[in-house]
Amino acid sequence: IVLPGGDPGYKNLMKSHDILMLVKKFYENGKLVGAICAAPLVLAKAGVLDNKLATIYPGMERDIPRPRDASVIVDGNVITSKGPGTAIEFALAIVEYLLGKAKAIELKNIIVA
């Protein structure tokens, strides 16, 4: 599952008990959980970031447990990214996680990233 950020999108996701439970279930079952921009706040609210490094939209770092200043952070099955300007790097990290490094490099070369 990959959550988009943006306002008010992330706020609406945070209000949904069903979304929070789905995110937690994916995480607990070892499935990919991704979030970009402000959406890592949703992961934090679901308890997914308690023991994970993560990144988030600049200025919101204090709202997640273990923030790091990076475009993309991959910590186990959790992938987070800062925002719209890091979307391609985020997408490539997801491709690498799901399909392997060779596919991510192939895609990166095709899209000239």
Which residues form the catalytic set? 37
Neighbours of 88 (CB within 10 A): 16
User: Does the N-terminal peptide bond of residue 8 adopt cis geometry, omega within 30 degrees of 0?
Assistant: yes
Query: Which residue has 């943006």 as its token pair?
Result: 6
Which helix (H) or strand (E) segment holds residue 72: the answer is strand 72-75
